[in-house]
């Protein structure tokens, strides 16, 4: 079998315990079976990790991976995936981020970077093509991500591409993220804490190799078609170029889907004060992109007056607005922008941070915790006076920040008194910003999400349910197949890797992947591949003990009606498992299913009969 | 007369009212008489400004100037001077700053940039060699200096060199500074507010021209000698490379010269908590420089723990430590570093900011102001809890910050009740960090300082008085001539322009200037030139009404003994005026003196007989 195009055929493995680095061959069958990015990373993670290891132990690994489209000049192909076992959820974690770091890994000559072991002292990794150095980083320990990136570049070269952690990662906050290229986040699930547990402050890449594809002529022609598709899709200009994801605030608030007051209500009048229009009119400076993307979804914003004047951030995305504007009910867009900026600097996932604060606010409102617990801080919904201190205290684990730093699941375990019922998480992962009581498919996205209660895995169910006219969003009917389909579309995008905001049509994407790899993938082949990846992800979690009973949601969503609706979880699960080919009692993929996906090795590992 | 070497022979004049720009010839006689930088700027400012204009009116001008050594590859020659009429003092102002901006002005083909008038809307100036654009900057208004520089570079080019103002300059804080190249400040006296009054957010320079000198071979040989002198001077390694100016804390505290508690005391035990050793051991990350300087006096520091963790700043210099650690008695070096970092971002002079807060603390201690005035803030010496808010509020003129923003002189006018006696300023300029009761020459440096009560003009008196063995620091004897000599040494350095921390010996400096310009300057000639510049500066202030009675100090220094000492100001002034050739009654330079300095035109303008 020939080496697939678009890939380097090499994996770099760095053992921080021994300081040794070696390049290993990438099995070309892995590209054919799992593509790259999320798919490749899932397969590698399953193989590399021993079951049951502690996420913050040296036995955990960090696997950075890129895909056949990475850095090929196509809009949206500046992404990488990172895989590890999550300290927040204890299960499978992938996270994607973008801009220069992923393409630079490809230019260094690798398709994946596996970091294992633990450095004896704070360190950073410098990869310059085939030269690998583990350098001392004690002087950088304690620094925020913006300064860390600058200092590393000062020491290495201004053109080095840097992914790093902030104090949150150092202090093992289980929802600490990895930040690369001035504020792009591999956000969810705590990959930053895993990096911190390895004493790894940063990774700097400097590559000099050319990115090539198997059929350059065909690829070039397809690029033109892709650009036309992107430009002619009204979402590109009307939504992404104008608002980024902030436009979602108005539509989700109007539809009664955006949660407020820690999911106690929807349709908040605050929605109008934190909308995409408010951002555009009062905060937007300019749009920016991950080169060479033409969609330019990223909004550089600044606060010009009030207590947060002087704050600048790229974003915030809808999910950040949901977490701070929705869950915490901050009606000041400036406060949300501040939270966005400082979560990036401290290396905190904005979503878990905001949802955790919102949860504490409800506990405070109910008297479950009081000023004695919070160090005297009044945690009232809507009051953002303590926000700067809270964010700092979470990252550095001072005072009550040390409690918030544990995330909603562990806080609820600590607080007790029924607070578990409204700790808005699934498998420990704080939920995305869509209330499934108003859009039932999302219940499956959260309950069965491969990395826990995140919207990412299947967020495309929402437009289907809300505006396609093909579904009743308030019923469970048809949602199993819809969510499975939505998940697989996302797996494909994450494995190519290409940004999900890039409006390249799926048949064109299949042709691009084929031209890049030299494999003749039909779109059907690729969805089959995505299904395979989804099952590897599920198998990882099954190996860690996940069964049907773990595929659940906070009781608030199951028992507390909102606009007359609760989530009919059992009906939804039955439907979804059937669509997936998973055992209805246990939620484990059947042997037949895994066999159909050419995953017999995994079926054997799971001991399936 | 031939064009002097090391200079371009051109001045760029930009009228923001009309948007017109034109290049004008630089009179080569001006180089021969005033050299460059501070000297040239003083001469131009005297000519360009009408007497009595309002500093924040369109009639004021900003004059940026470089000198014959600027950008010539010699260590320490990355400086520029900026001249204007100060909104803080109402008199002559020059300020110097360094790194890339000055050399870039030279590479653009100019020796000076005169900015006059007022733009109709927020703007920034872009100079690319002979192309000049006034661009819109409404989107940048309200941004801190770090973000402003980045955004301008994003719009222009990453290699553009940017000087800009922060919110303090926009909001006309009379001690707002200009910041260039990531935190280098033209700090004192409010040039940033003048920029703000002109609606000028930033100046971006992109030059492509080579810097040349008159006699390149001679200059090259001298460069070698200069490097040897710098490297062999123990100050370079022992002081500047190890500590920057922070080493001064210990020596000045031990000598009883560093002021604490708004100059109520010296020899504070706090000195040990904010010393250069504390900086080195707990905060220093690395040394940095203004390329190509080999002295590397600048200390990149970070706070790793406590409430200011994550703060990074270049510095702080001794004067900043004095202002916040001394005047405000903040015993936490992290707080001082925070103040340093955020003064830079907001575009505030650290010295005036810290001294103003310290003054308010004493007023609060004495009950002259109370919580009703401060918006409930407790202003206690040593308590830095409100520091982040105070700095923000000064820059954005919120609440009590709007009072602090006026500086000590105007605050004392407002507060009354004898607070003038301990408002630590001279001519409106907050004093430098050396108590003249312990080092009498400094009384003259402050009382007669060309820009008011700053140490800069003659700070080299201190080592002479304290450690040369030639002077009794507690007596007025001989201080007139000493201070005059110290002032002239500084004028020479500021006019070359070369950094005063560069240990090039003065005879070598004279040879360097001669080789650069092609003029045959002896060191004596150059001191004569410096005396001329000093008298132009004095003449500017005389024209604005400054007479002997304005050459005074806060009553605290004249009447309140410290370690048994007060300042004998009259004796000192008599001695100094005699050394300078100024009229003993009025403090005006005599006609004879101005004639001897080839300044008859100025004598005529002042109407001297």
The number of CA neighbours under 13 Å toward the Cβ of B183 is 19
Asked whether residue B355 carries a pLDDT value surpassing 80, the answer given is yes
Residue B412: its H or E element: helix B407-415
Q: Can you give the length of chain A in residues?
A: 609
Check CB contact under 8 Å for B392 and A309.
yes
Minimal C-alpha gap between B157 and chain A (Å) = 15
Sign of CA dihedral B193, B198, B201, B205: negative
The dihedrals phi and psi of B348, each to the nearest 5 degrees, come to -115, 140
**Rounded mean pLDDT of B377-386?**
97
State yes or no: pLDDT of A324 exceeds 60. Answer: yes
pLDDT at A460 (0 to 100)? 86
pLDDT at A315: 84
Phi first, then psi, for residue B162 (nearest 5°) are -120, 130
Which of A166, A285, A303 has the CB atom closest to B151's CB atom? A285
Query: Roughly how many angstroms between the first and final C-alpha of chain B, as a whole number?
Result: 32
The DSSP string of B74-96 is: -TT---EEEEEE-TTTSSEEEEE
The answer to whether residue A345 neighbours chain B at the CB level (below 8 Å) is yes
The pLDDT of residue B34 is 98
Residue range B50-64: mean pLDDT, rounded: 98
- Report CB contact under 8 Å: A285, B140: yes
Does B346 contact chain A (CB < 8 Å)? Answer: yes
What's the rounded mean pLDDT across residues A63-71?
98
Write the burial class of residue A601 (CB in 10 Å: 0-12 exposed, 13-18 middle, 19+ buried): exposed
Q: Please judge whether A151 and B285 are an interchain contact, meaning their C-beta atoms are less than 8 angstroms apart.
A: yes
**DSSP β-bridge partners for residue A93:** A84
Cα–Cα dist B524/B530, whole Å: 10
Residue B303 touches chain A, beta carbons under 8 Å: yes
Instruction: Please count the residue pairs, one from chain A and one from chain B, whose beta carbons lie less than 8 angstroms apart.
Output: 73
* Phi and psi torsions of B595, nearest 5°: -60, -45
Residue A586 burial (10 A CB sphere; 0-12, 13-18, 19+)? middle
Which chain A residues touch B142 with a CB distance below 8 Å? Answer: 302-305, 309-310
Coil/strand/helix, residue A79: coil
Residue B298: CA count within 13 A, CB half-sphere: 20
Contact B395 A302 (CB under 8 A): no
What 3-state DSSP class applies to B365?
helix
Query: pLDDT tier at B155 (50, 70, 90 boundaries)?
Result: very high
Cβ separation B309–A392 shorter than 8 A: yes
Quick one: pLDDT band at residue A2, thresholds 50, 70, 90? low
Averaged over B552-563, what is the pLDDT?
A: 98
- Does residue A1 register a pLDDT over 70? no
Q: Does the CB of A179 have a partner CB in chain B at under 8 Å?
A: no
The distance of A387 to chain B (nearest Cα, Å) reads 14
Nearest CA to CA, how far is A149 from chain B (Å)? 13
d(CA A542, nearest CA chain B) in Å: 40
Residues of A in contact with B312 (CB under 8 A): 143-144, 147
Check if the beta carbon of residue B357 is closer than 8 Å to that of residue B290.
no
All residues of chain B having their beta carbon less than 8 Å from the beta carbon of residue A182 are: none
**By three-state DSSP, how is residue B227 classified?**
helix
Flag if A139 and B285 touch (Cβ within 8 Å).
yes
- Which chain A residues are Cβ-neighbours of B167 within 8 angstroms? 309-310
Nearest to A305 among B142, B307, B312 (CB): B142
Residue A440, classified by CB atoms within 10 Å of its CB into exposed (0-12), middle (13-18) or buried (19+), is buried
Q: What is the DSSP string of A515-579?
A: HHHS----HHHHHHHHHHHHHHHHHHHHHTT--GGGS---HHHHHS-BTTB---HHHHHHHHHHH
Q: A302 in contact with B at a CB cutoff of 8 Å?
A: yes
- Other C-beta atoms closer than 10 Å to the C-beta of B485 total 18
Q: Which of A302, A306, A393, A396 to mutate to test the interface with B (most CBs of B within 10 A)?
A: A302
Which tokens hold the place of A4?
């697939």
Instruction: Return the pLDDT at B2.
Output: 66
Q: What is the pLDDT of residue A158?
A: 87
Which pLDDT tens digit goes with each residue over B280-303? Answer: 999 999 999 999 999 999 999 999
Q: Determine which of B179, B299, B302 to mutate to test the interface with A (most A C-beta atoms within 10 Å).
A: B302
Give contacts of A300 with chain B, Cβ < 8 Å.
151
Q: Which of A144, A310, A398 is the closest to B143 by Cβ? A: A310
Q: How far apart are CA A107 and CA A99, in angstroms?
A: 14
Backbone angles phi, psi at B391, to 5 degrees: -65, -45
Tell if the CB–CB gap between B147 and A312 is shorter than 8 Å.
Answer: yes
Question: Tokens 């000041």 sit at which residue?
Answer: A332
Give which of A124, A296, A304, A313 to mutate to test B binding, by max B Cβ within 10 Å.
A304
- How many angstroms away from the CA of A494 is the closest CA of chain B? 30
Q: How far is CA A431 from CA A199, A246, A262, A439, A582, in A?
A: 29, 18, 11, 14, 24
Listed in sequence order, the residues at least 6 apart from B209 whose beta carbon sits closer than 8 Å to its beta carbon are B8, B106, B107, B108, B109, B129
Q: What angle do CA A30, A34, A37 make, to 5 degrees?
A: 105
Please report residues of B whose CB lies closer than 8 A to that of A346: 310
Q: Is B159 on the interface with A (CB under 8 A)?
A: no
Contact B167 A309 (CB under 8 A): yes
Name the nearest CA neighbour of B65 among B95, B28, B29: B95
As a whole number of angstroms, the distance between CA B320 and CA B349 comes to: 9
Interchain CB contact of B310 with A (< 8 Å):
yes
With pLDDT > 90 as the criterion, what percentage of chain A qualifies?
97
Is the Cβ pair A147, B310 closer than 8 Å?
yes
Question: Torsion over CA of A523, A524, A529 and A530, rounded to 10 degrees?
Answer: 80
How far, in Å, CA of B382 to CA of A309, rounded?
26
Nearby residues of A61 by Cβ (< 8 Å), 6 or more positions away: A45, A48, A49, A84, A114, A115, A116
- B37, B80 contact by CB (below 8 A): yes
For residue B141, the chain A residues in CB contact (below 8 A) are 304
pLDDT at A556: 98
Q: What is the mean pLDDT of residues A425-429?
A: 98
pLDDT band, very low/low/confident/very high, at A89 (cuts 50, 70, 90): very high
Residue B592: predicted pLDDT: 97
Q: Helix, strand, coil % (nearest 5) of chain A?
A: 45, 15, 40
Collapsed DSSP state (helix, strand, coil) of residue B374: helix
Residue A307: its chain B contacts at CB < 8 A?
Answer: 392, 398
Residue A396 forms contact with B (CB below 8 Å): yes
Q: Mutate which of B122, B176, B309 to test chain A, going by most A C-beta atoms within 10 A? A: B309
Which of A197, A207, A193 is CA-nearest to residue A111? A207
pTM given for the model: 0.96
User: Three-state SS for A202?
Assistant: strand
A334, with CB counted inside 10 A (0-12, 13-18, 19+), is buried
Cα–Cα distance for residue pair A575/A586, rounded to 1 Å: 14
Which pLDDT score is estimated for B35?
98
pLDDT tens per residue across span B188-247: 999 999 999 999 999 999 999 999 999 999 999 999 999 999 999 999 989 999 999 999
| Cβ atoms within 10 Å of B121's Cβ, excluding its own | 10
C-alpha dist (Å) from residue B159 to A561, B150, B154, B156, B208: 58, 11, 10, 8, 11
Residue A309 near chain B (CB below 8 Å): yes
Cα–Cα distance for residue pair A405/A395, rounded to 1 Å: 7
Q: By the CB < 8 Å criterion, does A267 face chain B?
A: no
| CB–CB contact B346 A396 (8 Å) | no
Question: How far, in Å, are A55, A97, A197, A432, A441 from residue A59 at the CA level?
Answer: 8, 24, 11, 30, 36
- Put simply, the answer to whether B346 touches A310 (Cβ < 8 Å) is yes
A303 lies within 8 A of chain B by CB: yes
CA distance B176 to B404: 12
**Chain A residue numbers touching B140 (CB-CB < 8 A):** 285
ipTM entry: 0.93
pLDDT at residue A147 in the model: 97
Q: In angstroms, rounded to a whole number, what is the distance separating the alpha carbons of residues A62 and A198?
A: 10
Three-state DSSP class for residue B447: helix
Query: Strand, helix or coil at A155?
Result: helix
| Residue of chain B nearest A342, judged by CA positions | B310
Report the alpha-carbon distance of residue A174 to residue A348 in Å, rounded.
Answer: 9
Instruction: Give me the pLDDT at residue B164, please.
Output: 98
The pLDDT of residue B459 is 78
How far from the centroid of its chain's Cα atoms is residue B397's Cα?
Answer: 23
- Residues 276-295 in B contacting A (C-alpha not used; CB under 8 Å): 285-286
pLDDT at residue A459 is higher than 80: no
Q: Which chain A residues contact residue B303 at CB under 8 A?
A: 142
Tell me which of B139, B310, B394 to substitute to probe the interface with A (most A C-beta atoms closer than 10 Å). Answer: B310
pLDDT at position B442, please? 98
Partner B, chain A 111-140, Cβ-Cβ below 8 Å:
139-140
Residues A587 and A458: beta-carbon distance below 8 Å: no
- What pLDDT band is residue A489 in, cutting at 50, 70 and 90? very high
Are B88 and B174 spatial neighbours (Cβ–Cβ below 8 Å)?
yes
Contact between chains at A312 and B143 (C-beta distance less than 8 A):
yes
Assess contact for A211 and A187: CB atoms under 8 A: no
In chain A, the percentage of residues whose pLDDT exceeds 70 is 100
User: Rounded mean pLDDT of B35-58?
Assistant: 98
Taking only the tens place, the pLDDT of each residue in B428-477 is 999 999 999 999 999 999 999 999 999 999 878 999 999 999 999 999 99
How confident is the model over B99-122, as pLDDT tens digits? 999 999 999 999 999 999 999 999
* Chain A: residue whose CA lies nearest to B347: A310
Sort out which chain A residues have CB atoms less than 8 A from B309's CB and list them: 142, 167, 392, 396
A154, A285, A310 ranked by CB distance to B167: nearest: A310
Residue pair A287/A245 in contact by the 8 Å Cβ criterion: no
Minimal Cα distance from B143: which residue of A?
A310
């Amino acid at each position: 079998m020939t080496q697939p195009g678009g890939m380097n055929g090499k994996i770099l493995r760095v053992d921080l315990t021994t300081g040794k680095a070696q390049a290993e061959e990438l099995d070309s069958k892995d590209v054919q079976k799992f593509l790259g990015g999320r798919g490749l990373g899932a397969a590698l993670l399953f193989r590399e990790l021993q079951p049951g290891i502690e996420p913050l132990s040296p036995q955990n690994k960090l696997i950075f991976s890129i895909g056949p489209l990475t850095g090929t000049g196509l809009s949206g192909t500046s992404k990488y995936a990172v895989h590890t076992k999550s300290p927040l959820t204890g299960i499978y974690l992938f996270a994607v981020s973008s801009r220069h770091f992923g393409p630079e890994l490809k230019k260094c000559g690798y398709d994946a970077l596996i970091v294992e072991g633990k450095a004896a002292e704070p360190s950073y990794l410098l990869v310059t093509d085939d030269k690998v150095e583990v350098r001392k980083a004690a002087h950088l320990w304690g620094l925020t991500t913006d300064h860390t990136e600058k200092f590393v570049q000062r020491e290495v070269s201004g053109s080095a591409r840097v992914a790093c952690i902030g104090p949150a990662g150092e202090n093992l906050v289980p929802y600490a993220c990895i930040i690369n290229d001035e504020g792009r986040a591999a956000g969810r699930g705590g990959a930053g804490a895993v990096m911190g547990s390895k004493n790894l402050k940063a990774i700097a890449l400097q590559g000099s190799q050319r990115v090539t594809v198997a059929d350059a002529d065909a690829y070039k022609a397809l690029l033109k078609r892709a650009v036309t598709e992107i430009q002619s899709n009204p979402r590109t200009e009307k939504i992404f170029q104008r608002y980024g994801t902030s436009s979602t605030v108005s539509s989700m608030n109007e539809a009664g889907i955006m949660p407020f007051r820690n999911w106690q209500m929807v349709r908040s009048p605050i929605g109008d004060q934190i909308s995409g229009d408010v951002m555009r009119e009062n905060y937007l400076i300019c749009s920016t992109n991950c080169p060479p993307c033409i969609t330019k979804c990223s909004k550089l914003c600044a606060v010009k007056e009030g207590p947060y004047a002087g704050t600048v951030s790229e974003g915030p995305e809808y999910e950040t607005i949901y977490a701070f504007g929705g869950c915490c009910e901050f009606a000041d867009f400036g406060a949300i922008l501040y939270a966005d900026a400082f979560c990036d600097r401290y290396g905190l996932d904005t979503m878990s941070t905001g949802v955790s604060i919102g949860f504490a606010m409800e506990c405070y409102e109910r008297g479950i915790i009081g000023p004695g617990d919070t160090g005297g801080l009044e945690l009232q919904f809507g009051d953002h006076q303590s926000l700067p201190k809270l964010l700092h205290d979470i990252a550095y684990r001072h005072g009550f920040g040390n409690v918030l730093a544990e995330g909603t699941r562990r806080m609820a375990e600590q607080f007790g008194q029924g607070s578990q019922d409204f700790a808005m998480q699934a498998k420990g992962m704080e939920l995305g910003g869509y209330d499934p009581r108003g859009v039932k498919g999302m219940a499956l996205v959260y309950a069965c999400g491969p990395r826990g209660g995140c919207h990412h895995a299947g967020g495309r169910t929402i437009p289907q349910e809300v505006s396609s006219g093909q579904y009743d969003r308030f019923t469970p009917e048809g949602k199993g197949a819809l969510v499975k389909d939505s998940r697989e579309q996302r797996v494909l995008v994450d494995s190519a890797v290409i940004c999900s905001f890039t409006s390249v049509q799926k048949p064109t994407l299949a042709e691009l992947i084929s031209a890049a790899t030299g494999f003749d993938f039909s779109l059907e082949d690729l969805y089959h591949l995505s299904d395979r990846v989804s099952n590897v992800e599920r198998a990882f979690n099954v190996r860690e003990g996940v069964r049907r009973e773990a595929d659940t949601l906070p009781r608030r969503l199951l028992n507390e009606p909102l606009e007359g609706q609760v989530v009919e979880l059992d009906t939804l699960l039955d439907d979804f498992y059937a669509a997936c080919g998973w055992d209805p009692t246990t939620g484990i993929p059947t042997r037949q299913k895994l066999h159909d996906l050419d995953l017999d090795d995994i079926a054997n590992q799971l001991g399936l009969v």
